[in-house]
Amino acid sequence: MSYPETDYRIDDIDRCILYTLMKDGRETTATSIAETVNVSGATIRNRIQNLEERGIIQGYTAHIDFERTGGKLMNLYLCNVPVPEREALAQKARTIPEVINVRTLMTGRRNLHIVAVGEHTKDLQRVSRTLSQLGIEIEDEDLVEDEFFSPYTSFGPDDDQRTHEPNDFISLTGQANIMQLTVRSEAPITGHTLEEASNRNILDENTLIISIERDDRELTPHGDTVVQSDDIVTILTQQHGDETVFDVFQGSDLETVTK
């Protein structure tokens, strides 16, 4: 299946979805993810569909212990193939009935890894012969004893593992900068109008919100515009490098001061 080329940037909600599905896709529901990130279940379902359509989520599979299915053997083949033919040979290897996984590597020898399952050693020997007939050189092979899977921790819920980073950044003359930031639910500005944020000293005079992107719509900010979680805000600021700018939109221990 082909996917559209895109410069789509995932945000914290997307990361939470990916982490949760990797951790336990079977028991995960849109509602349970929604409760974690404080959005609606419909939003999560739309996000998952978007991630699927963009090819970020490319499928859902079960991890199977083949030994428990009747003592079946799982074998790993470390193969060499010419780089120009790597993709085509990988697709041909996938057509072998016993093959369950094919991985291509960018460079070097052993640039094609193939995993196959068989009832007996003769099944795996047949796979070896078929691979050779396809023009795939097997450099080494061995039985797989076990596999372990873990979700990608950088997508996980531990905020201490993530640093504040702008979505985009442009430096202008005169010490001014333009940044894009994704608003987090715990941010001080979330749920406030821009007028309220200014009156309460959440948003200082050195920071100007130029635009707000929300649900694929671009909004022109006004005093009565309410900043919402997951908004992508474009700001003009003279404080790049000051954590206070990030704190306003992405959360910290910053206290809200009311005039």
Domain-embedded: residue 2 = no
Domain-embedded: residue 128 = yes
Which pLDDT value is given to residue 216?
A: 74
Q: What is the rounded CA–CA span in Å between residue 15 and residue 178?
A: 24
pLDDT digit string (tens) for 50-65?
999 999 999 988 888 8
Domain-embedded: residue 23 = yes
Domain-embedded: residue 103 = yes
Domain boundary among 108, 143, 178: 143
This prediction has a pTM of: 0.56
73 and 139 fall within a common domain: yes
User: Which is more confidently placed, 4 or 23?
Assistant: 23
Name the domain count of the chain: 3
The answer to whether 167 and 180 have CB atoms below 8 angstroms apart is yes
Q: What is the mean pLDDT of the chain?
A: 83
Q: What is the CATH number of the domain that holds 16?
A: 1.10.10.10
> Which residue is associated with the tokens 């410069």?
7
Domain-embedded: residue 110 = yes
Strands 73-80 and 112-118: antiparallel
Which pLDDT value is given to residue 162?
A: 47
Q: Which of 107-116, 142-151, 167-176 has the lowest mean pLDDT?
A: 167-176
Which residues constitute the domain of residue 205? 159-250
pLDDT digit string (tens) for 185-242?
888 999 999 989 988 889 887 788 888 988 878 888 888 999 999 888 888 776 544 5
